[in-house]
């Protein structure tokens, strides 16, 4: 080997050693997820974006307006820390988009991304109805058509129960076993339809007693409480005796939960008290000048919200005021969030957020159009509501406000069952809308940003 060739070989070996010393740390850094951020002019660890969907789907995915080549889920992307505009598209579905921050060595979680179809599958159950109600437990439907009261069971069978109905004076029990009807214009009376035998319903009439408010005990529809105009509260046990028995007096208003009865007693000021159903273990809740109230109980954990007039309180061992000017309230299924709204604003009161116990209130949206009867979606991360006759859905952070159904929607009685079938009225028609859920064949996406 010539000397020149030997020098070249030694030089090449030295070059390889230097190259190794330079590139080895870079390779290690690269393998460890570190990249040079030209924007910040420093080396930073990337964030790993993992996009999963149920079921697997072909999606158009954009980061800051740039369409990504990879489309079929699950997909992994490596991104430097910073703010990114994410957008997900699929043919025939409304797009999802949001500003998300990828932080170095931190995890950002974006859960419950649902792509809603632009054309929802819907079915007209009945046309030209005046009103409908659904039993929360049995999910049987009653509705009024041509002043006749109908019942539709789970199999779709229809039964005429009663004729000559005032459209705003019916009440179906949660178990679907009984219906209370108030009739009459000048001389009001009420009757109870017992549906234990649907083929031959038993009708009990009370023509001599005029009640202004009647409620079932939530977990026992055979026990009914009724308040008359003279502030007398009666109890009616349909299993023992159908005659009303005086329970207590001096009552302006009342509410029932599974284990407690709440009485607003006339005083100066009026006193709201809580007790057992035998009127033992009484507790004074609050003093007020108001003459009406309502209690909303979460059936999962028995948490209670109190609405006196338009003042909202969280009812626990103590009474904690949440907000003023409240017209509608709705618990999520787990009892971690309480939705409340007025005509133009929707807010959520959190008892738990991001797996931590908290007590905070956040605004979801403010609109110039009148909002009516918002309810939680089945994932508790979206809200369904109506505005100007349009059915809409929105995420809890106020993003991705989507119109699901156009003009003519009536949100006065929305009901979403366990299968994500939404019942509502549209132009006097009773509809079922089939909405997406994780187990369906519509894309349900989790976006992981570790």
Question: Between β-strands 328-331 and 34-37, what pairing exists: parallel, antiparallel or unpaired?
Answer: unpaired
Q: Please state the φ and ψ torsions of residue 438, each to the nearest 5 degrees.
A: -55, -35
Question: What distance in Å separates the CA atoms of residue 242 and residue 235, rounded to the nearest whole number?
Answer: 10
Q: Are 50 and 75 in contact (CB under 8 A)?
A: yes
* Two tokens, residue 168: 């705003």
Question: What distance in Å separates the CA atoms of residue 215 and residue 4, rounded to the nearest whole number?
Answer: 105
Fold adopted by 128-249: Methylamine Dehydrogenase; Chain H (2.130.10)
Q: 228 exposed, middle or buried (CB, 10 Å; 0-12, 13-18, 19+)? A: middle
Task: Count other Cβ atoms within 10 Å, centred on residue 9.
Answer: 11
Question: What distance in Å separates the CA atoms of residue 341 and residue 366, rounded to the nearest whole number?
Answer: 10
- Each of the 450 residues of the chain gets a pLDDT tens digit; together they read 566 677 666 666 676 667 666 665 555 545 555 555 556 656 666 666 777 776 677 788 888 888 887 677 777 777 777 788 888 888 888 998 888 777 776 655 666 788 888 998 889 999 999 889 998 888 889 999 998 999 998 888 899 998 877 766 788 888 888 898 877 665 566 788 888 778 788 888 776 677 888 999 998 988 999 998 899 999 988 887 677 889 999 999 999 999 999 999 999 999 999 999 999 999 999 999 999 999 999 988 889 999 999 999 999 888 999 999 999 999 998 889 999 999 999 999 999 876 677 789 999 999 999 998 899 998 899 999 998 888 999 999 999 999 998 867 777 788 998 888 999 988 889 999 999 875 544 444 554 433
Closest CA to 387 of 343, 421, 349, 442: 343
Which residues, 6 or more positions from 124, have their beta carbon under 8 angstroms from its beta carbon?
429, 430, 431
Task: List, for residues 235-263, the tens digit of each pLDDT value.
Answer: 988 887 677 889 999 999 999 999 999 99
Task: List, for residues 2-46, the tens digit of each pLDDT value.
Answer: 666 776 666 666 766 676 666 655 555 455 555 555 566 566 666
* Two tokens, residue 340: 């409340």
On whether the 37-114 domain is CATH 3.40.109, my answer is: no
Collapsing DSSP to helix, strand or coil, 8 comes out as helix
CA angle 132/395/435 to nearest 5° reads: 45
For the chain, the helix, strand and coil percentages under 3-state DSSP, each to the nearest 5: 5, 55, 40
Question: What distance in Å separates the CA atoms of residue 39 and residue 43, rounded to the nearest whole number?
Answer: 10
């Amino acid at each position: 080997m010539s000397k020149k060739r030997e020098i070249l070989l030694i030089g090449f070996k030295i070059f390889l050693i230097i190259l190794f010393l330079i590139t080895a740390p870079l390779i290690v850094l690269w393998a460890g997820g570190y990249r040079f951020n030209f924007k910040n002019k420093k080396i930073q660890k990337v964030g790993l974006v993992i996009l999963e969907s149920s079921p697997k789907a072909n999606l158009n995915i954009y980061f800051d307006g740039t369409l990504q080549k990879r489309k079929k889920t699950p997909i992994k992307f490596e991104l430097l820390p910073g703010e990114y505009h994410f957008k997900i598209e699929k043919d025939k579905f409304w797009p999802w988009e949001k500003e998300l921050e990828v932080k170095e060595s931190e995890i950002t979680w974006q859960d419950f991304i649902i792509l809603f179809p632009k054309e929802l599958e819907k079915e007209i159950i009945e046309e030209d109805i005046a009103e409908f109600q659904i039993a929360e437990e049995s999910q049987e439907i009653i509705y009024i058509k041509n002043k006749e009261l109908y019942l539709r069971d789970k199999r779709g069978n229809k039964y005429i129960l009663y004729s000559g109905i005032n459209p705003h004076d019916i009440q179906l029990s949660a178990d679907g076993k009984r219906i209370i009807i108030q009739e009459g214009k000048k001389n009001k009376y009420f009757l109870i339809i017992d549906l234990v035998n649907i083929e031959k319903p038993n009708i009990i009439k009370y023509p001599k007693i005029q009640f202004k408010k009647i409620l079932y005990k939530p977990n026992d529809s055979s026990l009914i409480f009724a308040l008359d105009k003279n502030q007398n509260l009666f109890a009616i046990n349909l299993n023992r005796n159908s005659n009303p028995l005086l329970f207590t007096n001096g009552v302006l208003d009342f509410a029932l939960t599974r284990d407690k009865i709440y009485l607003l007693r006339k005083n100066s000021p009026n006193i709201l008290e809580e007790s057992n159903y035998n009127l033992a273990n009484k507790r004074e809740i609050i003093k007020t000048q108001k003459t009406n109230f309502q209690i909303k109980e979460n059936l999962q954990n028995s948490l209670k919200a109190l609405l006196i007039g338009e003042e909202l309180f969280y009812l626990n061992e103590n009474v904690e005021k949440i907000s003023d000017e409240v017209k509608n309230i709705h618990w999520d299924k787990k009892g971690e969030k309480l939705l409340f709204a007025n005509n133009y604003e929707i807010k959520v009161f959190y008892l738990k957020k991001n797996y931590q116990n908290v007590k905070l209130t956040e605004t979801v949206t403010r609109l110039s159009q009148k909002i009516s009867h918002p309810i939680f979606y089945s994932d508790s991360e979206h809200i369904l509501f109506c505005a100007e006759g349009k059915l809409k859905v929105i995420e809890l952070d106020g993003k991705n406000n989507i119109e699901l159904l156009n003009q003519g929607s009536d949100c006065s009685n929305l009901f979403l069952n366990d299968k994500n079938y939404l019942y509502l009225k549209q132009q006097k028609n009773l509809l079922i809308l089939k909405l997406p859920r994780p187990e369906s064949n519509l894309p349900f996406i989790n976006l992981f940003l570790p």
